[in-house]
Amino acid sequence: MSKYKPWQICCCLCIGLFGAIIFICLCMLVFGVFIHRGCSEDTYQHAAVSADSKLCSDIGRDILQQGGSAVDGAIAALLCTSLVNPQSMGLGGGSIFTVRDKTGTVKTFSSRETVPQSFKADLLKGCPTSVIFITGSQWIGVPGELRGYEVVHRMYGKLPWARLFEPTIRLAREGFPMPPFLGSLLNITLIGNLVKATSLCEVFCHKNKTVLGIGDTLKFPKLAETMETIAEQGVDAFYTGQIGLDLIQDVKAAGGTLTMEDLKSFRVRVEDAWTVPLGDYQMHIPPPPAGGVMLAFILNLVKGFHFTPRSMEEDQKVLTYHCYIEAAKFANGQRKSVHDPVFNTKKDASHMVDSDFADRIRVLISKNRTYNDSYYNITPSPDRFG
Amino acid sequence: TTHVSVLAEDGSAVSVTSTINQIFGAGIYSSRTGIILNNELADFCFRAERLSAGEQPPSSMAPAILSSSSGKNTLVIGGSGGSMITTAMALSIMNHLWLGMSLKDAIAAPIVFVDGKNNVKFEHGFDKSVIEALKVIGHRVTDYEYFFNVVNAVAKEDGCITAVSDARKQGKSAGY
């Protein structure tokens, strides 16, 4: 050591000290990230999609990773779902979007179908009272699905419109293994018979008319063509163009009353979300005739019971569910308030999101008894199983 | 009906419910376009005395976004299953926000459904001792086998994102 000059020893000490400080900082940073994040392993750091199938959640996530907005991801996941769960949604239906932008502003976009200009006058006389399939062209409304995508993409989209269709068009053209959930549905006799007895058999049956099942490959060549045209030309190809004309022709052949005028005049309803305070949260829901007000009414009633995790313990659990069931019974009494405000001058449903109204109803709930139906002001009616 | 919940990196969120009612809607396939038509007008049944051109029928669909007052936490949630959407969503939100369940457990928990005639129906797996006690209180409990309720949600809490697709429809979420 005596052979080193003092300044050399000093430099070594400084470098050593500096290295030690860097090392400690790095450890704290790495360790700190984990402490800060504290995220369990089954969570994500940046973004996520929850759809009805892994295939479509993945397609939505991939769109996000390509720089797509939340709306881009949602549209791509929906287009995919129209192939993987075609029994649940598709371009012949309608949807409701609730969208929150980066600033926190929440808007809703309803493209649910509307009543066509011409419809069966005594249509409602044909409503079944038992739980069966309600099929037939007389029940077809004006499809709004694609107009809804167009409007939200125009407002919030980041990726090109055609990009959102690519993964689904590939699936539709190349085919993919029958999804297990759909395969199990088609295997149910009631549903298999429905498919065999209708034009659905063109897609979901083998050439010999037996219904497809698990292990078969599902293809939608015609839908792939339609989607490709819409991806390239936009939704006007559907609402004012050849695709619409073809659709109308098929609906007419099935006895339906839909016209090109119906398609041309379809408009998406763009409205501010209704906002309902729920403790530390603000819940944003679409306005009637959507069902958000029923949800808000039940939660407003339940909120006043101040449930906590202890409410699920043995001695509390029955009371907790009793109060919830009572709230649901009162909500049934409000069902008739949920209708299209544009066409019904009757009392609207805004009282259903009002905390004071919930407070007045909550005091009618007894902790140890229930009442007969008239107490809840219900109009008994069959349910929809969606 | 199907529901998709999305939460993007920039904090924007989408809750969207899309529907072909029942199973395959009107049961009509347009062979020229490949499109399956819905039976939306059936949603007016027992809910309206008459229809008007341009009118939308009442719906249980309720795609929702919940934002915490701090702005740090978000719950993007929605469901499918016709009249069961309301109770499936209400119970999932109640279980998660107030009863302390994880989002996954909150959605998986068996539901109770009060039908349009105020009969009380319990999903398979519901706590039998609770059902018996509720019968003693006087609730009209009836059996039912068609539970189509499904809830899909994404939550961001304390910087971590949880995404849950309902296992009832063999769903699976995705994220990064």
Q: What does each of the 386 residues of chain A score in pLDDT, given as a tens digit?
A: 456 677 677 777 777 777 776 666 665 555 444 444 578 888 999 999 999 999 999 999 999 999 999 999 999 999 999 999 999 999 999 999 999 999 999 999 999 999 999 999 999 999 987 777 889 999 999 999 999 999 999 999 999 999 999 999 999 999 999 999 999 999 999 999 999 999 999 999 999 889 999 999 999 999 999 999 999 999 999 999 999 999 999 999 999 999 999 999 999 999 999 999 999 999 999 999 999 999 999 999 999 999 999 999 988 999 999 999 999 999 999 999 999 999 987 778 999 999 999 999 999 999 999 999 999 999 877 787 76
User: How far apart (Å, rounded) are the C-alpha atoms in residues A245 and A222?
Assistant: 15
Count Cα atoms within 13 angstroms, Cβ side, for A246.
Answer: 18
Q: What is the pLDDT of residue A191?
A: 94
Burial B149-174 (b: 16+ CB within 10 A, else e): bbbbbbbbbeeebbbbbbebbbbbbb
Q: What is the pLDDT of residue A27?
A: 59
Distance of CA A341 to the CA centre of its chain: 23
Section B125-130 average pLDDT: 97
Q: What is the pLDDT of residue A29?
A: 53
pLDDT band of B22, cuts 50, 70, 90: confident
Which residues of B fall within a CB distance of 8 Å from A112? 19, 40, 56-57, 59, 61
Instruction: List the 296-315 stretch of A: residues with Cβ below 8 A of B.
Output: 298-299, 302-303, 307-309, 311-312
> Is residue A219 less than 8 Å (CB to CB) from chain B?
no
Q: What is the pLDDT of residue A234?
A: 98
Q: What is the pLDDT of residue A40?
A: 83
Distances (CA, A) of B147 to A278, B95, B122, B123: 27, 19, 9, 7
Instruction: List the 134-163 stretch of B: residues with Cβ below 8 A of A.
Output: 134, 137-139, 146, 148, 150, 152-154, 158-163
Token pair for A114: 């509307």
Q: What is the pLDDT of residue A299?
A: 98
Q: Under a CB-based contact definition with an 8 Å cutoff, are residues A358 and A297 in contact? A: yes
Q: What is the pLDDT of residue A33?
A: 47
pLDDT at B167 over 90: yes
User: How far apart (Å, rounded) are the C-alpha atoms in residues A243 and A132?
Assistant: 31
Q: What is the pLDDT of residue A30?
A: 52
Distance of CA A147 to the CA centre of its chain: 16
> Is residue B36 less than 8 Å (CB to CB) from chain A?
yes
